[in-house]
Amino acid sequence: MHPNSQIATSFLNRALRLCVFASIISFSAFSQTVEVTKSTRIEKIEGKQYYIHTVIKGQTLYAISKAYSILISDLVFENEEAIDGIKPGMELRIPFIATAPSSATPKDKRLEINGKYRVHTVEKGQTLYSISRQYNLSVEALKQANPEMPEALSLGQNLNIPVEQLIKPEEVIYTSAKIENLKDTNVIDPGKINVVLLLPLYLDENKNSYRDSAGGSSHEAVYAKSLNGLEFYEGAMLAVDSLSKRGIKATVYAYDVPDDATLANLLTTNVLKNADIIIGPFHGKRFEMVAGFAKEYKIVCVSPVLKKSDIAQDNPYVSKVLPSEEIQIRELGDYIGRWNCKKNIIVMYSGNEDSVLIEKLKEGIKTRCDSAKIHFLNTKGRGVRLVDSLIQPGVENIVMAFSHDESYVSRLVLLLEKKNTKQRVVTLFGLHEWQDFENIEVEYFQDLNLHLPVDLFVDYSKPEVKNYLLKFRDKYLAEPGKYGYLGYDVMLYYVQIIRKFGNDFYLHPETIHANGVQSSFDFKKLGAQGGLENQNTFILNYTDYRLVKVN
């Protein structure tokens, strides 16, 4: 990124049919929003009174919505052409008396936000159960959010959906941020912790989306590959805000790394050579370039998203945030051995490709229960019915299935559901991908007491999570997704660790366990010459039609 360069971004996520709106997030004094004065022009249109506001160059949807005390979603609802941006001279209709978020018709399916709740309009054939599944809620939680709800749902009825429960990693309500080098200079401030962020922002692919004939800004869809890096940046900047309030100062150098050539040039700068810590890039090959550089200059480099253990095997300066799948399966085996040592354990796999994971599962189980008897069933090229002969009466049957195939898992679940009786109890264990399967009824997973190992998990009941959500919404007018939480946790954790233990904190990984809003950090050194890899795995279980942490 060039010195002092910046770009304001917003996007319309049409694939998810969510309204997305733009506003400039002021982290430093890089841009000024033109003040908005309420219009004195009021007209009656279709029996309803509106302010008629004429847009002036420099005004944004966010600034206009604030001036008229109206939600951005309501503003765009009344002016659909504003979805693709506003231009000088455009006339906007704004309700004369600001109202609560408009109820969307089933045909429109707009996303409506009302304080703590999202408004859902009941469609034909929907039931409380189907709606609870749609938003990953329990039926009871849905009833609590709608205390005056009648016994029977009616077409067009509005229901409150708790916002905190509907967030998914890929889902964004509306967001924006300004990307810039916070301090692109070769002068390092020795009184602060110097952090370098290397993110996939693809600024060149986005910059042309914000120009119109009058020199103002227009809001087109942001380049899709930018979104993860953008959200990570947003979360990281919130962490910097929190650290600053605690008296911990960090200078953050944020760089766009869209390709290998850009990264190679960055690695020649004094900023990177004098960094206390480098976070990123996300791309495997580029991270290897940074890891080699970090080893040469003895700088800790953090991989926030890569999972393979080999990136940290021979480099003591690499710190890997996400555990590998092998670690997750070993931890799942540890959980099975801890609670089900005397049970009938059946492991279903498909050929030699699962051999490494099977060994890790056995290792975890045997660590807790060396006497455990495990039946291994190779189902490659054969149906799921083979498991039937191994299910025993009068004992709990633990079935672990190594499969990434949703159709296979679906057939297995249907079979086990029929076999799961008081006489032959079945508890199912699977892989982390299963939580994303869309064509298997959650009710089946719950009946089979499904357990899954995952690397990241947000518990919305925790006070720290609620606090983070409030801060993120207040600053970005958005809901954080997976990368928003990750950016916050990673920045907050590593800056505090450096502040407390210094730059050689990686020499004592056992002293630096911590919990974030989505991540937990429990590092282990990978051999004498290896780096650090997070060992933490969340074991989740379907309870009351949603996943909860049980380990």
Whether the pLDDT of residue 61 is over 70: the answer is yes
Give the pLDDT of residue 450.
94
End-to-end CA distance of the chain: 43
Fold of 326-454: Rossmann fold (3.40.50)
Band of the pLDDT at 320, cuts 50, 70, 90? Answer: very high
Give the pLDDT of residue 119.
76
- Residue boundaries of the structural domains of the chain: 9-95, 112-166, 177-316+461-522, 326-454
83: helix, strand or coil: helix
Give the pLDDT of residue 6.
28
Of 173, 166, 243, 208, the closest CA to residue 476 belongs to 173
Average pLDDT, the chain: 77
Whether the pLDDT of residue 393 is over 60: the answer is yes
Asked if domains 177-316+461-522 and 326-454 share a fold, the reply is yes
The answer to whether 374 and 340 are in contact (CB under 8 A) is no
CATH number of 9-95: 3.10.350.10
Structure tokens given for 484 = 């928003």
Give the pLDDT of residue 222.
65
According to DSSP, the β-strands at 397-401 and 451-454 are unpaired
Is the pTM value of this prediction over 0.85?
no
For residue 264, the number of C-alpha atoms closer than 13 Å in the C-beta half-sphere is 4
Say which CATH superfamily domain 177-316+461-522 falls into. Response regulator (3.40.50.2300)
Fold of 112-166: Membrane-bound Lytic Murein Transglycosylase D; Chain A (3.10.350)
**Euclidean distance between CA atoms 204 and 281, whole angstroms:** 17
What type of residue sits at position 430?
G
Stretch 444-454: mean pLDDT: 92
For the chain, what is the radius of gyration of the CA atoms?
A: 26
3-state secondary structure 492-549: HHHHHHHHHHCCCHHHCHHHCCEECCCCEECEEECCCCCCEEECCCEEEEEECCEEEE
